[in-house]
Structure 1
Amino acid sequence: MIELQTDKFYINGHWVNPAGSKKAAVINPATEAPIADIAMGSTEDVNIAVDAAKKAFESFSQTTKEERLALLTRIREVYARRYDEMSEVIRDELGAPISLCHDAQSAVGLLHMDATLAALKLMDFETSNHVGDTIRREPIGVCGLITPWNWPINQIALKVFPAIAAGCTMVLKPSEVTPLNALLMAEILDEAGVPAGVFNLVNGDGAEVGSAISKHPDISMVSFTGSTRAGVLVSQDAATTVKRVTLELGGKSPNIILPSADLKAAIHENMAHCFSNSGQSCNAPTRMLVSAEQYDEALQTVKELSSKFEVGSPLLKGEHIGPVVSDVQFGRVQTLIKAGIEEGATLLMGGADRPEGFETGYYVKPTVFGNVTNEMRIAQEEVFGPVLVVIPYKDEDEAVRIANDTPYGLAAYVQSGDLETAHNISKKLRAGMVRINGTDIAEGSPFGGYKLSGNGREGGVYGIEDFSEMKVISMPKSY
């Protein structure tokens, strides 16, 4: 484990002591042992960080696009050099297997950096409209960034890099469950020469530090990723100062497998995607919808494929599944698995309690339920663990109805042998992202959802625009 300044915050270009003495342990989910103690911040720490960001905004907001491109390029170079360190840090605090950390968790930092650079190069921050008025996109101001534990660098990258690209300054509060990657990112930004006060980091919990950020009158925008419950609280706190709030929240994503699809391949892909990162992805396809005519075959296929999904140590390379992040998360997943059993769903694989041989660590059995109706708790609530439900449908219209029968609307999936049919169905789905036949949403495409899944979009041009204000300037025509 690399040494990080866990007892300090990064404010105004320096590592500084916190105002208070409160600390919290960071737990390795695979061993249940503490690996670090981090300083926990207060409203006073947030005030100091915001003051630094506010002062830095005066000059940084006036930088040119070329200057910000050069800065982002330097950040990318330092990040690439410390890539392996990032993978190891995330492995130890999140519990994700090292292969997943290397190939995905750390990789998205570079991918989102490249997408931000590409978008910034294409953006014109000053244009004219049809009558000749000047339309300017200007940095919105000091931004509060609150990020989650499940894909920590992914969300930091989707907020910090576009904010810099737009010319904003910021205060970041990472999740107190997985804060170490953010401390490493602060070192990367410092080494890359980010001007003092542009990026500031204060660790802490949502109740104090998160709320202080959301309420602060000198913060112009809050970008939050996390649970819908917490997103509502952020919005309420921010309402008194009428600041912009963008939210990327939960999901209960459907995957419609049409009769024309390769059933076995589609089911295997769905299971692998749902179980990846121990099911701790907001856009995971957790509701598999299968035609009633193929339903029995689908349930049998799930059983046949169950042996392919194994649990293992995060230290080992491979495609196995690691633990969930914490004791709290383990308890929530267990509660919902037991609820599925009590509701009368058929357990096709997995179930409650730890897998055999994993008495220590927050390991969960990859679990699939059949004979599920969409009204069941396990079909409506976001489990955020390796739990999948299989729901039958009679025809395409019912498949769409079931898919949309959720308070969420982040992502949806369609598998079909007929792309025209799949495309037509995708237009009926109330979700911000639809993936057809195993495709992915490319970096730089808008990431976000409908309904309780949030508002705003992250990634590429759309992400930079979220950190911008629009100004119109009308001038005499003789100017």
Structure 2
Amino acid sequence: MSESYKNYVRGEWVTAESEATFDVIDPAQSDEVVGTYQQSSEADAETAIAAATAAEDAWASTPGPERGTVLKQTSDALADRKEEAIETLVREEGKARSEAAGEVQRAIDIFAYYGQKARDLGGRHKASSSRDTDLYTKVEPLGTVGLITPWNYPIAIPAWKLAPALAAGNAAVIKPATAAPGPTRILFECLDSAGLPDGVANMVTGSGSQVGTPLVEHDDVDGVSFTGSTAVGTDIAETAATERKRVQCEMGGKNPTVVMPSADIDEAAEIVANGAFGTTGQSCTAASRAIVHEDVYESFVEKVVEHAEAVDVGAGLDDPDMGPHVSESELDSTLEYVDVGREEGATLETGGTRLTDSDFEHGFYVSPTVFSDVSNDMRIAQEEIFGPVLSVIETEDFDNAVELANNTDYGLAASIVTDRLSEADAFVDRVESGVVKVNEKTTGLELHVPFGGYKDSSTNTYREQGDAGLDFFTATKTVYRNY
């Protein structure tokens, strides 16, 4: 029998007002319930918001080094529970153990990083044009913030929203995704053990309509940070803007990797395959388009198909190359796009089938998929699939490759594989993307530099991570002091 878990509000673990619950299942073994969580209502969200607003002033006035100590102790507590967090993440989200281990370590590092940054928060002195005047700025927390996080990185993304929010002195209410709330729960258990004051951070599980909506619309919520689909993020941004709340939304991607003739084709195929099929393609930065020069197109297709067919698919706890989809609905969506690709006239080179034999019988598995003969106006080249599906597009030259890379509504991550420095530099300058990589896969991020996209990949307001993460969660006050 699975264990039942509660919300975390005002420093206590509490049931939802209605006492309704929902089950989280193992995507590798869908007949197994991993955990039971609270199906919270709008009233539960409002209770959590009230707890945060009651605690915000005291936390804001807590010295930065003291706040930083709580974050560092949270990092240490999570490190002590790393294996438990990894297993929970794998059993709820489905990704391979090594991928989950990297994500949990990232959360550990994020809390340690912002624990230190909390000690450095302050303003800047400037020289005044007037005599006998001190001119400086000071930064202050927003107040109470609402955080809405997705299932595909169920501990890293909550960490990179929650840690800077707390470091800056905000109180927070977070709604983790219902598909994989367990890693966030463990994070809150670590915060609790680190001595975070009651009410400063609160976790409420449940649907977006019941829990997420109050976090966006409530008068006492001063800022909203969301990661998820472009459609939902756009609605959130519009609502928050109407209420004049600070808002930050990171959304979808249709990320290209350009492959030029100077590249080592074996290396290029490996880079693209890793970006396309890692994390089962369930990453907003996954490589979903390979834009390949005509001189190496056929050899690249051959090599990337070899890589796709060599991917070891299996249950995440066995640490394969690729685990299952997080849910049956996500699997069905990927398979629907495979049908769309066929109907559009692309050539299915490999994959695109649900795996059902033996160990796959009760899981949400699909074989890594490669389409060739794709034109950039096809739906499989324009719409985010969020699965291990790669579209290979032929290009005649570098200029056309950049044009194709930019010809999408999204602009999150892009990469180029080339041995020519001039092409690399020109690509960095001309590609319309918030993250640009040279001779690397599109996935994978450093925690101390800004992350965010262009166009429909972002609200284009504030970036996340590093100092940029603190910028979102703070307001700047300019002080003129005549002495």
TM-score normalised by the chain length of structure 1: 0.95
Read off the aligned partner of 1:352 and give its amino acid letter. T
- In the other structure, the counterpart of 2:469 is 463
Q: State the partner residue of 2:425.
A: 423
1:353 aligns with 2:354: yes
Partner of 1:344: 345
For residue 444 of structure 1, the aligned residue among 419, 439, 448 is 448
Aligned match of 2:126: 129
Q: Where in structure 1 are there 5+ consecutive unaligned residues? A: none
Shift of 1:124: 4.2
Contact 2:68 2:117 in 1 (8 A): no
Question: 1:55, CA displacement in angstroms?
Answer: 1.2
CA RMSD of aligned residues (A): 1.6
TM superposition shift of 1:96: 1.2
Q: Secondary structure at the match of 1:475?
A: strand
1:37 to 2:13 alignment:
no
1:261/1:417 contact within 8 Å kept: yes
Q: Is the 8 A contact 2:67 2:115 kept in 1?
A: no
After TM superposition, give the deviation of residue 108 of structure 1 in Å.
1.4
| Gap regions ≥5 residues in structure 2 | 129-133
Deviation at 1:2, TM superposition (A): 9.0
- Tell whether 2:47 aligns with 1:48: yes
2:351/2:369 contact within 8 Å kept:
yes
Contact conserved, 2:2 with 2:34, CA < 8 A, in 1?
Answer: no
Q: Distance in 2 between matches of 1:173 and 1:384?
A: 21
Task: Show the counterpart of 2:98.
Answer: 99
Give CA-to-partner distance per residue, 1:419-446, whole Å, 9 cap, x none.
3420221111111110111275422110
Structure 1 runs (4+) greater than 6 angstroms displaced? none
**CA shift in 2, pair 1:36/1:111, >3 Å:** same
CA deviation profile, 1:56-109 (whole Å, cap 9, x unmatched): 11111012221122111111110100111100100110111222212x221211
**Structure 1 letter corresponding to 2:478:** V
The answer to whether the Cα contact below 8 Å between 2:448 and 2:466 also exists between their aligned partners in 1 is: yes
> 8 Å contact 2:76–2:108 — kept in the other structure?
no
Contact 2:71 2:112 in 1 (8 A): no
Q: TM-score, structure 2 length as denominator? A: 0.94
Q: Distance in 1 between matches of 2:452 and 2:425?
A: 19
> For the structure 1 residues 130 and 421, does the alpha-carbon distance in structure 2 shift closer, same or farther, using more than 3 Å as the test?
farther
Write the distance in 2 (CA, Å) between the matches of 1:426 and 1:345.
29
Please tell me the residue identity of whatever aligns with 2:447: E
Tell me the distance in 2 between the aligned counterparts of 1:66 and 1:252.
Answer: 41
Q: Percent identity?
A: 37
Distance of 1:265 and 1:308 partners within structure 2: 15
Is 1:453 the counterpart of 2:457? The answer is yes
Aligned residues: 472
Of residues 282, 285, 305, the one that matches 2:284 is: 282
Matches within 5 A, 1:390-409: 390-409=392-411
Aligned to 1:323: 324
For residues 381 and 425 of structure 1, what CA distance do their matches in structure 2 show?
23
Q: Which residue of 2 aligns with 1:213?
A: 215
Is contact 1:215–1:240 with CA below 8 Å preserved after alignment?
A: no
The residue aligned with 2:196 is 194
Distance 2:416 2:113 in 1: 26
Task: Summarize deviations over 1:221-257 as a string: whole Å, max 9, x none.
Answer: 0000011111122123323421011011110111011
User: Which of 23, 26, 37 in structure 2 is aligned with 1:25?
Assistant: 23
Q: 1: distance between equivalents of 2:69 and 2:422? A: 43
Q: 1:135·1:471 contact (CA, 8 Å) conserved in 2?
A: yes
Instruction: Check conservation: 1:87, 1:98, Cα contact below 8 A.
Output: yes
Report the counterpart of residue 78 of structure 2 in structure 1: 79
